[in-house]
Structures are given as structure tokens and as C-alpha cells.
Structure 1
Amino acid sequence: MSEFTFSQAQADMRSGYLCGVPGIWASGAVWLVAAAVAVQVSHPAGVLALLAGGMVIHPLGVVLAKLLGRTGGHTAGNPLGRLAAEGTFWLLAGIAIAYGMQVLRLEWFFPAMLLLIGGRYLTFQTLYGLKAYWVLGGVLCGVGLVLALARVPAPVAAFAGGLIEVLFAALLFRRAKRDVANPATLAR
């Protein structure tokens, strides 16, 4: 049995990963690069850019967290670390489906990825104890659905995902800085 209470486990995740901000920023940057590649090279190249860039989101987020003075990890034995890993496996299965969809309709890939990433962020509320992740997840899912129904060109959906994440990261960074300045807020 773990020595962590649920709120302690969430506080440990917020502390180690700076409320998840570095990961959101890294993800947003990858989306924006994929959008630029889709515009400058080709839409299929943008798909590959998002997939390749997606592989470096977590490592880049860890490096950014460390550069910002955090550990970039959680304490050994934190049970929420397992939930984060389990959510990643679900995400990978969804990515395979989204990739398969783009073979049929290229413009479906980025909206499908917005839905997947949005769904993943919904679980971050449990990981970090921050209801703001429900907002981020809901916005990404809603935008993904609307853009899929509107059949927008691939770069539009990719730019939308990147901009939403970068803006959200900036807003959440304010909360994270407050938590770092006053560690007692991490326990909430």
C-alpha cells in the first residue's frame, strides 16, 4: 500500500512537473511545428511531424521543468505515476487509429488527434488536482469535433491545437509560479 494520500500524490505531481505546464508548452510547440510543416512541405509531412514530435513531448517537458527549477518527475511510489503511464498506452492506441483514419481522409487526422489529446488532458485533472485540465480537455475536444465537421484543411486544425495549448500553458504557468513561491498551495 502506498504511503501517499490522494491529495499528497497530486501535490507531488504538481510540484515535480510544475503543474504540467512544461509538457503542455512542449506539446503546443510540437503542434505548431507540425502545422508549419503541413503548410510549407505537405499535409502528410505535417502528420509525420506531429507523430515524430509527439515522441519528444515528455522528455522535452521534463527538461523544461528542470530548467524551471522542478524535478521533472514524481516521487517513487506515487500511485498517480502509474495512472499517467496507463493513460499513455491508451493514447498510443488512439494515435494508431487516427493515423489509419488519415489514410481515408487526410483532413481527419489533426481533428482526431485534438480529440485524443483533449481526452488525455481530462485525466490530468486527476493527476494534478487542477480542474483547469477539464477546461483544456473540453476545449480541445470541442474544437476537434467542430473542425472535423467543418472539414477544415489539415494545417488549420494543427495551428488551432498548438495555439490552444500554448495559451493554456501561459495561463496555467501563473498558477504554477504561485505554487512554487508558496509551497503550501501545492497541498491543496
Structure 2
Amino acid sequence: MRQGYHSGATGILASALAWSVAAGFAALASPQQAVWALLVGGMFIHPVGLLACKLLGSRGAHAKGNPFGLLAGASTFWLIFCLPIAYLLSLHWPGLFFPAMLLVIGGRYLVFATIYGMRFYWILGLVLAAAGFALAALGAPLLAGALAGALLEALFGIACLVLHRRGAGPEAETRLHGA
């Protein structure tokens, strides 16, 4: 999975892009347009991530029959099942949409710790979830939630890219990823 998908770094960076577009809409347009920007942008995360994989030299695919591919698919369905609830929440309390999405996406990244065999994803997932909870508890403005998602995903995406590049050899992979 790591080799096929560049350790997931390209997906994290594609997600950062979607969050950044949503932050732009939050700053310059309406709350509902910002919500829709993340929902629509989220549909492009996987294809953009795959394109980035191929541009960086990864296959953008996993070995046929790899059970972790099924786990990735199941976690995608779980994410999709959470979207209507987050959207309905945004209709009544727009400022809670982005914190809710940080919690949902943070939870999905915890599954990636198993898929990629990287403890890194535990940290990413827990940081996103903590940020979502803190933003909600503080009643942070809509823009703060979108910016938090964009910034955190960008920083972790870059960190994951660095880890992937350092982990190219089998001994480095064991040292860096615990696999």
C-alpha cells in the first residue's frame, strides 16, 4: 500500500487542497458555499491523489487481492455515510461543519495506520480530531475550521511525503514506520 500510493502522502496533500479551496470560499463567499466546496472538493481527493502518485513515480494502485484495499474501501463508505449528518449540522450551525469533518476525517486516518502500517496516521488522526473538538468547544468561526483543516493536512502531507522518501529502503521502512 505504501509503495502503490506513496504512503498516502498524495491523498493527504490533495485533501489539503480541497480544504484550502473551502477556506477560500469561507473567506470570500457564504458559509454554505464553503461547505459545498469541501463536499465537492472531497470527491476529487482520490483522483487527484492518484494523479500525483503517478507523477511522483508510484503506481497509484495496490496489488490485486490485497485485503487492505477492502479496508480502505470500507473506511471510504464510513466517511460517505457521515457526510449527510455533517451537512445537516451545517444547515443549523454552519460553524460546526468543519470541526465535524475534522473529527470524521481524523477517525478515518486512524484506519490508515493499519492500511499503511504507519504510526504516523495515529498522530494525524488524533491531531485532526483534537482540532475539530477544540474548534467546536471554542465556538470558532467557520473560517478558522476550514483553515485548520487546510493547514494541518498540508503540514502532515509534507511530513508524510518526507517519511515516504526516507523510507525507500527496507531497513529505513522498518525504522520509520515500524513495519
Q: Tell me the TM-score normalised to structure 2 length.
A: 0.94
Q: Tell me the residue number matched to 2:52.
A: 64
Correspondence list, 1:85-96, <5 A: 85-96=73-84
Q: Distance in 2 between matches of 1:64 and 1:143?
A: 27
The reply to whether residue 160 of structure 1 matches residue 148 of structure 2 is: yes
Residues 106-145 of structure 1 show CA distances to partners (whole Å, capped at 9, x for unaligned) of 1111100000000000110000010010000000000000
Q: Distance in 2 between matches of 1:100 and 1:80?
A: 31
Q: Tell me the residue number matched to 1:76.
A: 64
Q: Tell me the residue number matched to 1:19.
A: 7
Q: Distance in 2 between matches of 1:185 and 1:67?
A: 23
Aligned pairs, how many? 175
Contact 1:65 1:72 in 2 (8 A): yes
The reply to whether residue 100 of structure 1 matches residue 88 of structure 2 is: yes
The reply to whether residue 52 of structure 1 matches residue 18 of structure 2 is: no
> Cα distance 1:75–1:61, how it changes in 2: closer, same or farther (>3 A)?
same
Q: Tell me the TM-score normalised to structure 1 length.
A: 0.90
Task: For structure 1, list consecutive stretches of 5 or more residues without a partner in the other structure.
Answer: 1-12
Q: Tell me the residue number matched to 2:20.
A: 32
Residue among 96, 102, 119 paired with 1:131: 119
Task: For structure 2, list consecutive stretches of 5 or more residues without a partner in the other structure.
Answer: none
The reply to whether residue 178 of structure 1 matches residue 166 of structure 2 is: yes
Residues 74-106 of structure 1 show CA distances to partners (whole Å, capped at 9, x for unaligned) of 011101000000001110111111001111111
Q: Offset at 1:186? A: 4.7
Amino-acid identity (%):
46
Contact 1:28 1:165 in 2 (8 A): yes
AA of the residue aligned to 2:26? A
Q: Offset at 1:179? A: 2.6
RMSD of the alignment, in Å?
Answer: 1.1
Q: Offset at 1:42? A: 1.3
Q: Tell me the residue number matched to 2:128.
A: 140
Q: Tell me the residue number matched to 1:9.
A: none
Q: Distance in 1 between matches of 2:166 and 2:138?
A: 39
